[in-house]
Amino acid sequence: MRRRRVEEPDEIQDGEYEEEDDQLIDDGEEEYYEYMTKRGNSTRKRSRSSFIDDAAVEDNEEDDDDEDYGGGGSRSKRRNSRRKGECFFETQAVEDGDEDEDEEEEADGGEDFIDYGGLELPEEDDGRRVHQRPLHEPEDEYEIVRRLEERYSRASRRESDEEATGIGQQALLPSVHDAKFWRVKCVAGREREMAVCLMQKSIDRGPDQLQITSVITRDHLENYIYVEAHKESHVREACKGLRNVYFSQKPQLVPIKEMTDVLSVESKEVDLARDTWVRIKTGIYKGDLAKVVDVDNVRRKVTVKVIPRIDMQAIATRLEGREAGESRKAIAPHPRFMNINEARELNIHVERKRDPLTGDYFEKMDGKLFSDGFLYKSVAMKCITAANIRPSFDELEKFGKPGEHCDDDRMISLSALSGNRKKEQYLKGDAVIVLKGDLKNLKGRVEKVEADSVHIRPEAKGLPRTLTVHEKDLGKYFEPGNHVKVVSGTRKGATGMVVKVDQHVVIILSDTTKEHIHVFAGDVVECSEVASGGGVTKIGDYEHRDLVALQNGGRKGGQGGLIGSTIKIRRGAFKGERGRLIGMISQTMWRIQHHTVILVDMASEVRPQCILLGLHCTSPMGDANATPYQFGMRTPMHGMECAG
Amino acid sequence: MGSNHNHPAPAAQIPTSFGHELRACLRCRLVKTYDQFRESGCENCPFFKMEEDHEHVVDCTTPNFNGIISVMDPARSWAARWLRIGKFVPGCYTLAVSEQLSEDLQMLCQEERVLYVPPKRV
């Protein structure tokens, strides 16, 4: 479809032709264009030179013609002009439209040259019929204008879509011409209901009756809804008859600069999805890691699963009617997976329930729900923190498999569980592997680190020298045999040789303790340094080879002399464990180095009385009350040195 | 633009309740109940074919969303334009969803030549 605006000067006309031709292609009138090329192929060469010459000759003549003829113009004139303009452009095929007219009379003139086959002929006929029609009928100016408007409006609409996505939000900021936001008071808890009510009302009344364009509610903002309208009167009119919306307080106009804030959502608000790791902020589970199982935005609560801290004995005594010695213990029971049979043995009532929504089975005991060893509890969103949760290896380990110890499964589940971790820090030269996307399993070395993306030099041949990968698709890579050092986490300071790697988890043979330790790949760097003394050369104020004066030395329970000695714990949660006493904070609080190198500071669990009662000291003397100043006896200094 | 002369598209179904059953379409963020999606699918995303298989409802919608916006007139609403739902039918939408469409479904969107914008992470 090539129509020109006859009234406009030549220079612009040429430009327009170009535009039009481009539009032709963009608008999907490709088929017409293709049709024309098909038709025109045969005749293109023949016609081209002749038309070019024609155009050159006709140029000046055309100017006069234009001025004379003004609007409308005869069909033949149009034909000439068309010929004139189009021949300047590559789309010579389009020109052949002229020839079609001629060739029509010649009955399939152009088709002699090319055999299109039976299938194509009918198509061409249709095309010809459809597109040739305008040539035969006298065209109204208004028709032309209308068709052009249609064509351009379609194009501009599509462009604005793409532009908006491309340019981003900047282009969409509110202007003074847009409707305003009015903040309206309503009954607490009914905000969503009101938004939906107004929607229903708008549908019932019909289009453009309710002069409001949208209603917004925010989960965290009770008592208010935002109504988008040009005038306050429209807001009042729309809310007439709604019991839960009231105007005792005047609707507040939201300033233009704050309009986008009304609609913005903090990513952390939405982060509380199922399976996210959170930490509980209050109650006996304070600080404990938990996993979100269900989110209820309406009541602002989440259901989480957490390792139970249950004191069965206390529950049993309470239920039996006997008064417990201390109604509420100051210290929370140690986290332990729930064994429902224990409860049954103690004659505590256990009920088996089925959740109608998920179909899962739960055991209900003492008003709490348990499943698979975990406690499922409902907490308010305010009591949960989801930001920057960095579950330690041990926490994840515990969570992964309650009770079972299948190594492979554990490794896999741990890798998956570590998904919530904070960003890993990459250094230039780190060996990395791509974890996701098309380049999965590609190994390389870090060349450059940017905010979100990392440039790596891949090992594979045939690839460009550096590739850019998003940092979340990347993970550190270690080959078995690498010597590494742990730089963060609970095992910080340890060094060793990599034995096995599985996605995010690396197993290292520690240089000092000769045991296998599991760490996250993000906490490890390649390093040839070998840790000495188990990596712990400094505890509190004391460092390796410091000269110290013994305190509490002598007889008093022999406690002073115990520092550095191995003790066995006889009561409490760590019953049966061995550790080395490395310090005393006070007479009743001791610090014991457990073999997993956690500096355990659990006064509640390890009361000195418990230890002294069943003290088993593995010092050479074998006598807890012996004075420490005997030859061969371990002294704190000596003990510290061998603390590894 | 002649858009003002067009008749407005029929509105989507309005959610019939406000509790747990509410879900939001992961592409267009339309909010309805699970049953409503199961019955009549998503008015903006018919290619998801939620009315055919209840699994599709679970894959294409989520109960984790934040904030509700009722859009009566998407063409004229600034809020709808800002949220990029101005081209959808009138109805109740959410401001943000927590999850992304699965890769398969993202491919489906590409094949159907419809726009999908994953939720932004700050």
The pLDDT confidence band at residue A84, using thresholds 50, 70 and 90, is low
Contact (CB, 8 A) for A128 and A135: no
Q: Would you state the pLDDT for residue A159? A: 44
DSSP A130-198: HHHHHHHSPPPHHHHHHHHHHHHHHHHHHHHHHHHHHH-GGGG---TTSPEEEEEEE-TT-HHHHHHHH
* Closest CA–CA distance from residue B19 to any residue of chain A (Å): 7
Q: Is the pLDDT of residue A595 over 60?
A: no
Enter the ipTM.
Answer: 0.93
> A198 at the B interface (CB within 8 A)?
yes
CB pairs under 8 A between A and B: 141
SS3 (DSSP) at A433: strand
Q: Would you state the pLDDT for residue A507? A: 86
A395 or A304, which is more confident? A304
Q: Is the pLDDT of residue A344 over 90?
A: no
Contact A216 B67 (CB under 8 A): yes
Tens digit of each residue's pLDDT (9 = 90 or more) over A539-566? 666 666 677 666 544 444 444 455 666 6
Separation CA A380–CA A301 (nearest Å): 4
Q: Is the pLDDT of residue A17 over 90?
A: no
* Closest CA–CA distance from residue A115 to any residue of chain B (Å): 35
* Closest CA–CA distance from residue A140 to any residue of chain B (Å): 20
Tens digit of each residue's pLDDT (9 = 90 or more) over B21-75? 899 999 999 999 999 999 999 999 999 999 998 889 999 999 888 899 999 999 9
Separation CA A604–CA A615 (nearest Å): 17
Mean pLDDT of A408-422: 47
Query: Cα dihedral sign for A571, A573, A579, A585?
Result: negative
Q: Is the pLDDT of residue A269 over 70?
A: no
Residue A127 corresponds to which amino acid?
A: G
Mutual orientation of helices A92-105 and A75-86 as an angle, nearest 10°? 140
Q: Would you state the pLDDT for residue B53? A: 87
The partner residue sitting opposite B66, judged by closest CB among A208, A219, A357, is: A219
Nearest CA in chain B to A177: B78
Tens digit of each residue's pLDDT (9 = 90 or more) over A468-508? 888 777 878 888 888 888 887 777 788 888 888 876 778 88
Q: Would you state the pLDDT for residue A256? A: 93
Region for A439 from its dihedrals, namely left if φ exceeds 0, alpha if ψ lies in -120 to 50, beta otherwise:
alpha
Mutual orientation of helices A117-136 and A92-105 as an angle, nearest 10°? 90
> Chain A contacts of B71, Cβ < 8 Å?
213-214
DSSP B30: B
Give the range among A185-189, A286-290, A408-412, A462-466 with minimum mean pLDDT: A408-412
Q: Would you state the pLDDT for residue A76? A: 46
Separation CA A200–CA A208 (nearest Å): 13
Tens digit of each residue's pLDDT (9 = 90 or more) over A193-220? 999 999 999 999 988 888 999 999 998 8
Contact A213 B90 (CB under 8 A): no
Q: Six-digit token pair at A602? A: 């659990």
Q: Would you state the pLDDT for residue A323? A: 57
- A76, containing H or E segment: helix A75-86
Q: Give the list of residues 6+ apart from residue A301 with CB closer than 8 angstroms, or none.
A: A378, A379, A380, A381
Q: Is the pLDDT of residue A403 over 80?
A: no
The pLDDT confidence band at residue A86, using thresholds 50, 70 and 90, is low
Q: Would you state the pLDDT for residue A561? A: 52
Q: Give the list of residues 6+ apart from residue A131 with CB closer than 8 angstroms, or none.
A: A1, A32, A35, A97
> A613 at the B interface (CB within 8 A)?
no
A497 or A417, which is more confident? A497
The pLDDT confidence band at residue A252, using thresholds 50, 70 and 90, is very high
- Token pair 């704050």 in the structure block, residue: A258
Give the largest CA-CA distance in chain B: 42
Most confident of A55-64, A386-395, B30-39: B30-39
* Closest CA–CA distance from residue B111 to any residue of chain A (Å): 17
* Closest CA–CA distance from residue B57 to any residue of chain A (Å): 15
Q: Is the pLDDT of residue A92 over 90?
A: no
Q: Six-digit token pair at A31? A: 């088929």
Nearest CA in chain A to B10: A203
> A242 at the B interface (CB within 8 A)?
no
> A254 at the B interface (CB within 8 A)?
no
B105 or A103, which is more confident? B105
Q: Would you state the pLDDT for residue A93? A: 57
Nearest CA in chain B to A195: B70
> Chain A contacts of B66, Cβ < 8 Å?
219, 265, 269-270, 297
CA-CA-CA-CA torsion for A564, A565, A566, A568, nearest 10 degrees? -110
> A208 at the B interface (CB within 8 A)?
yes
Contact B66 A297 (CB under 8 A): yes
Give the range among A51-60, A151-160, B37-46 with minimum mean pLDDT: A51-60
Restricting to B residues 19-38, those with a Cβ less than 8 Å away from any Cβ of A are: 19-20
The partner residue sitting opposite B72, judged by closest CB among A199, A268, A274, is: A199
Contact (CB, 8 A) for A100 and A83: no
Contact A199 B76 (CB under 8 A): no
> B60 at the A interface (CB within 8 A)?
no
Nearest CA in chain A to B121: A267
Mean pLDDT of A435-444: 82
Task: Provide the mean pLDDT of chain A.
Answer: 68
Q: Would you state the pLDDT for residue B47? A: 92
> A436 at the B interface (CB within 8 A)?
no
Mean pLDDT of A307-324: 76
The partner residue sitting opposite A214, judged by closest CB among B11, B63, B71, is: B71
Tens digit of each residue's pLDDT (9 = 90 or more) over A274-286? 777 888 888 888 8
Find which of B78, B85, B114 to mutate to test the A interface (most A CBs within 10 Å of its CB). B78
Contact A207 B96 (CB under 8 A): no
The pLDDT confidence band at residue A328, using thresholds 50, 70 and 90, is low
Q: How many CB atoms lie within 10 A of CB A200?
A: 14
Q: Is the pLDDT of residue A108 over 90?
A: no
> B8 at the A interface (CB within 8 A)?
yes
Q: Would you state the pLDDT for residue A88? A: 64
Contact B95 A202 (CB under 8 A): no
DSSP B48-115: G-TTT-HHHHHHHEES-EEEEEEES-TTT-HHHHHTT-TTSPSEEEEEEES-PPPHHHHHHHHHTT--
A229 or A163, which is more confident? A229
Contact B95 A263 (CB under 8 A): yes
Tens digit of each residue's pLDDT (9 = 90 or more) over A601-639? 444 444 443 343 333 333 344 444 544 444 444 455 544
Q: How many CB atoms lie within 10 A of CB A456?
A: 27
- Token pair 């020298």 in the structure block, residue: A465
Give the range among A60-69, A144-153, B2-11, B70-79 with minimum mean pLDDT: A60-69
Q: Is the pLDDT of residue A517 over 90?
A: no
* Closest CA–CA distance from residue A204 to any residue of chain B (Å): 11
Query: Cα dihedral sign for A89, A90, A91, A97?
Result: positive
Q: Is the pLDDT of residue A65 over 50?
A: no
